[in-house]
């Protein structure tokens, strides 16, 4: 399925650093894949899916370009918002995407409710 959002639309919810060399389409494509695999089996409208995709793309970008939570000038120091192990909740953008998904599909996905392939072993002897 075609992506629902543009870089400019994602840029409206997150400041984009022009020095980042990763093509922005990478973040949008990743968000689109998640939305298409996780959220499309629900009763969400196309407008809702677009908003979720926007915030997920911002989430993916924020992982690449970590947001500062604090800075210090004397004896230089900075802290970042990113925390490992929180999945979509590691950024405020991922949290917003979960909140916008009224079907709860992203929340289940984030908690590990992913669809896993199952394999059947067949004894051919």
Would you give the end-to-end CA distance of the chain in angstroms? 43
Of 26, 33, 31, nearest to 53 (Cα)?
31
pLDDT for the residue numbered 117: 38
Mean pLDDT (10-residue bins), the chain, 125 residues: 92 88 90 92 90 96 67 60 69 93 93 55 53
What does the DSSP assignment read for 28-78? HHHHHHHIIIIITTSS--HHHHHHHHHHHHHHHHHHHSPPEEEEETTTTEE
The secondary element (H helix, E strand) that includes residue 79 is strand 77-80
What global pTM score does this model have?
A: 0.75
Pull the structure tokens for residue 116: 């896993």
Burial of 48 (0-12, 13-18, 19+ CB in 10 A): middle
**For residue 33, which phi and psi values (nearest 5 degrees)?**
-60, -45
- The residue with tokens 């926007």 is 54
pLDDT for the residue numbered 20: 80
What is the longest distance spanned by two Cα atoms in the chain? 73
Tens digits of residue pLDDT in 68-102: 555 556 666 555 555 555 789 888 899 999 999 99
């Amino acid at each position: 399925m075609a992506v629902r959002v543009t870089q400019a639309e994602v840029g409206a919810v997150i400041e984009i650093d022009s020095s980042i060399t990763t093509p922005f389409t990478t973040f949008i494509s990743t968000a689109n894949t998640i939305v298409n695999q996780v959220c499309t089996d629900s009763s969400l409208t196309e407008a809702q899916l677009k908003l979720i995709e926007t915030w997920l793309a911002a989430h993916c970008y924020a992982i690449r370009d970590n947001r500062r939570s604090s800075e210090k000038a004397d004896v230089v120091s900075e802290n970042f918002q990113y925390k490992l192990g929180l999945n979509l909740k590691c950024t405020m953008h991922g949290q917003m995407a979960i909140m916008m998904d009224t079907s709860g599909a992203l929340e289940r996905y984030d908690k590990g409710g992913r669809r896993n392939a199952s394999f059947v072993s067949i004894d051919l002897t």
